[in-house]
A and B are shown apart, each in its own frame.
Chain A
Amino acid sequence: MAAVIPAEERIASRLDPRAQLGSLWRHPILRAALKAALTVLAATTITFTLIRLLPGNPIDLRIEELTRDGSVSYESAREQVSALYAIGLDEPLPQQYATYLWNILHGDLGTSFLSRGVPVMGIILAVLPWTLFAVGTGLLLSFVVGIGLGLVAAYKRGSFFDQAVSTIGSIISSVPNYLIAILIVLVLGVQLRWVPITQMRGAFSPGIQPGFSLEFIGDVLFHAALPISVFFLTQIGHWILSMRNATLASLEDDHVLAARARGLSDRRITTAYVGRNAVLPLVTQLAISVGFIVGGAVIIEQIFVYQGVGQRLVRAVAQRDYPVMQGILLLVTISVVVANLVADLLYSRLDPRIGRAGDA
């Protein structure tokens, strides 16, 4: 542990603004919030750099395209492109960036290339919930089931169950998730015809009335079943193995031994003493996986023709609809950041050591 710092030095470091910033960074909740803001800012910087600054960027290309045949003047081409991307092209660069940020803050992500005048925000908000629903359901299911299996595997260490679950878990988690999606279509859909893959396309059946009816919810689950299964299958191995290792480590803790010595029931030891401690570090991993799975969803949605944000991104790429592309990158990053923030806050609630160790 750190050596005891003399009082004068501690006070001096409190007064130093730079040290203040450092200790802010070390405070878990503030750090989580700061990290979230920084990540969103970084994402906007990436998109701004990509579309505005780098050579061969889509803004310059578009202006050149519009002015090439001479029917549109350079000024009006610039004006059109400005509106398209919600960037003020006549302002100096730093100000362009500021305007860009300001517009994003107000929910203005520009308008689509292809569907003239349609705001990018609306396009994305129509598809994003479907992806978050499928990704979230698959992830939570795999987390709950994986943690259960991992806990049992650790208790039956070395048994056939342990070996089977650990081996299958590590094999499934090594295969890229989009390959599992292709395999499902190839084997279950086309060869065996067990799964009606063409009927399961889209987010829900055409003609069905969206609402809180049993029929609609059932239909939504039917259409999301394949993406959810893939997210479930490809994540579960990770949770089984992590939980198994965390449980094994936690079983050797002194407080578990002490609980045994006190004659507590096995069930109480498993849930309150072993399981709870083993699960804690996995909660933060839950957040990190969100970003990974949403990335994988791009190909998986394309393969199953599920109308989520991933499939929309592929369409925008094919149509070279850059405003939609950068909008998706931004909104997905924000979703992932929010998920991370929730996990960080949850973690500091679950683990009382974290919240208090403010300036440690």
Chain B
Amino acid sequence: MSTIAVIARRPVGLIGLIGVGSFVALAYLGPLVIPLTNTVDIANIYRTPSLAYPLGTDFQGRDVLNQIVYGGRDILSVAFLAAFFSTAVAVTFGSLAATLGGKLDVAILAITDVVLTVPHFIVLVVVAAIFRPEGFLVLALLLASLQWAGLLRQVRAQILSLKEREYVEAARSLDLGLFHIIFREMLPNMASYVAIHFIFAMTGTVYAQVGLIVLGLIPLSGANWGSMLYLAQSQGALYFSDSFWYIFSPILAISLFQLSLVALSAGLEDVFNPRLRAS
């Protein structure tokens, strides 16, 4: 059975699959189909939802739904990149620590413990405040720099247990080399941890990234879900009863995206754990 079919078998997996799929479509295909309408229209400030404005308008009379469509791409891209970097670091150094052991293992574990303990968001706030990270890549690297520690520990523990299995011993006695043993023999057996962590890393980076934007620490280039909340907060729109839809819409978009990711990861667990499938 294909992976997608297994994920879709349980309602939670299906919801996750549809949710994440819709958000990816909305963020990447939406802007191609729906024209950008960001002209200021003083006559239509803070309209409630109607046919013309399905999610109402903002403090300058601009369509909120249009901002939601255009405001997801940057957030999703950065989250995806950051999750990719953090997973790569965790898998590489986690397997190295477990297979080589010794001083390297102790050093990597010590760094991991430190990174797990340091309050991530406060470090991010201070770093962002001093250096104002600009651009996708820099932002993704910054977010990934604190994300990897949890998975590294899991990868290391998993490899330590896989090391003792017969097929790994067989590969070693055939002298297939460290690279082959890690990437061809062991990693395929950890696909579940890696895939599920990748999704959790995405939820973690969306959390941190939107948080930094809400505090106004990431230079704005165009509207996104986070900057809508930043503007609402910094301009006091949060306390106007008229601005409900303008503030509620990005909250809904971010929360639904996070929920879809979590549901998808629950569905993935079924794929990798056949015992759960039976029940």
A328 to B129, CA, bound (A): 13
A54 to B110, CA, bound (A): 24
A46 to B255, CA, bound (A): 32
Instruction: Flag whether B2 is at the interface (Cβ < 8 A).
Output: no
Pick the contact of B239 from A176, A190, A292 — CB < 8 Å? Answer: A190
Contact A43 B121 (CB under 8 A): no
Chain A interface (Cβ within 8 Å of chain B)? Answer: 18, 21-22, 25, 35, 38-39, 42-43, 46-47, 50-51, 54, 56-58, 170-171, 174-176, 178-179, 182-183, 185-186, 189-191, 288, 291-292, 294-296, 298-299, 302-303, 313-314, 317, 320, 322, 325-326, 328-329, 332-333, 336-337, 340
Chain B interface (Cβ within 8 Å of chain A)? Answer: 103, 106, 109-110, 113-114, 116-127, 129-131, 203, 206-207, 210-211, 214-215, 217, 229, 233, 238-241, 244, 247-248, 251, 254-255, 258-259, 261-262, 266
Could you tell me the dominant secondary structure of chain B's interface residues?
Answer: helix
A42 to B117, CA, bound (A): 10
- In the complex, 10 of the A-B residue pairs with CB atoms within 8 angstroms, ordered by the A residue number, are A21-B106, A39-B114, A42-B114, A50-B130, A292-B119, A295-B120, A303-B238, A313-B126, A314-B215, A320-B129
Chain A residues contacting B129 (CB-CB under 8 Å) are: 317, 320, 325
A317 to B119, CA, bound (A): 17
Which of A54, A182, A320, A322 is the most central at the interface, judged by chain B CB atoms within 10 Å of its CB?
Answer: A182
B174 to chain A, nearest CB (A): 24
For the A-B complex, the count of residue pairs with Cβ-Cβ distances under 8 Å equals 141
Contact A299 B122 (CB under 8 A): no
Could you tell me the dominant secondary structure of chain A's interface residues?
Answer: helix
Pick the contact of B238 from A42, A43, A190, A317 — CB < 8 Å? Answer: A190
Contact B244 A186 (CB under 8 A): yes
Pick the contact of A179 from B119, B217, B255 — CB < 8 Å? Answer: B255
Pick the contact of A325 from B109, B121, B126, B254 — CB < 8 Å? Answer: B126
Contact A191 B106 (CB under 8 A): no
Contact A51 B113 (CB under 8 A): no
A111 to chain B, nearest CB (A): 18
A166 to B125, CA, bound (A): 33
